[in-house]
Structure 1
Amino acid sequence: MLQLIVRYALFAVVATLVNLLTQRTLLAVWSDGWGFSLAMLTGTATGLLTKYALDKRWIFLDNAAGRGVESRKFGLYTLTGVVTTLIFWGTETAFWLTWNTNQARELGAVIGLTIGYWVKYNLDRRFVFPSRKVEV
């Protein structure tokens, strides 16, 4: 159980870093309001793809293959990510609007993603990968 928690937390950190590095890269080029929106969307997409690949293989031990099965699972995984994304974007945006600094924005992102990932694990365990019954 502890190994699963550590692995999940590590993968959340990896996906968060991918997300934030993507955002930093885009914000270095476009620092206006549109750049902020593009950075959030693109960072979220890269973080989602990274986390899905890691969770599927190493958290839920899912070996299902095939385009149809994989599409269905990724679709459900993405839908459960809507809750994570709303928590993440809301927290990140609140910090950005309140302090208007990249450090505050990233702190808001980390806080939002931490809460969101806890919620997401529970949704994924129940709806996306229901054959893996592990409590965290």
Structure 2
Amino acid sequence: MRLLINYTIFAVVATVANIGSQDISIRLYDGLYSVFVSVLAGTAVGLIVKYILDKKYIFQFQVKNVAHDTHTFVLYTVMGIITTVVFWGFEFGFDYLFQSKEMRYTGGIIGLAIGYYIKYQLDKRFVFVTQGT
């Protein structure tokens, strides 16, 4: 139960980092493709925040060196591509349907919640595994 609570808290932290980065991005750049640029920025920030929290506090994963950490992060990112499709589908879908920033962010939050559940399952099986287990 403690793992579920911690994972949920960290998912909320990463979601706030993601949506907050999007909002900052939109405020700084409101030109052509600004929504797409903001979603990319939020995705990158959320990915890094979530990786650090998951690695240390959820999976208590110890990397051997920088190369191992880089390999783990790349694998984490690859698994994240699947969940990013879910997240972006909701965010861009809500943006298209409702054409408002608030509903776009609502879609993003829903997509992130679903994506983080899927991501945990993928990370547990494929990313944060110790050799020989």
What TM-score range do you get, normalising by the shorter chain? over 0.9
SS in structure 2 of the partner of residue 49 of structure 1: helix
Residue 37 of structure 2 aligns with an amino acid whose one-letter code is L
Check if 1:101 corresponds to 2:67: no
Check if 1:58 corresponds to 2:57: yes
Q: 2: distance between equivalents of 1:14 and 1:26?
A: 18
1:33–1:111 CA distance, 2 compared to 1 (3 A): farther
Deviation beyond 3 Å, 4+ runs, structure 1: none
SS in structure 1 of the partner of residue 41 of structure 2: helix
Q: 2: distance between equivalents of 1:86 and 1:47?
A: 14
Say how many residue pairs are matched: 130
Question: Aligned ranges for residues 1-136 of structure 1 at < 5 Å?
Answer: 2-131=1-130
SS in structure 2 of the partner of residue 130 of structure 1: coil
Q: 2: distance between equivalents of 1:43 and 1:6?
A: 23
Residue 80 of structure 1 aligns with an amino acid whose one-letter code is M
Residue 34 of structure 1 deviates from its aligned partner by 1.3
Residue 33 of structure 1 deviates from its aligned partner by 4.5
Deviations 1:61-89 (A, max 9, x none): 11223011111100100000001110000
SS in structure 2 of the partner of residue 63 of structure 1: coil
Residue 32 of structure 1 deviates from its aligned partner by 4.1
Residue 5 of structure 2 aligns with an amino acid whose one-letter code is V
| RMSD across aligned positions (CA) | 1.0
Which stretch shifts more, 117-126 or 33-42?
33-42
- How does the TM-score come out when normalised to structure 2? 0.94
SS in structure 2 of the partner of residue 31 of structure 1: coil
CA contact (8 A) 1:30 1:36 kept: no
Identical columns (%): 39
Mark the runs of 5 or more structure 2 residues left unpaired by the alignment.
none
Residue 41 of structure 1 deviates from its aligned partner by 0.5
Q: Report what 1:134 is aligned to.
A: none
Q: 2: distance between equivalents of 1:100 and 1:108?
A: 11
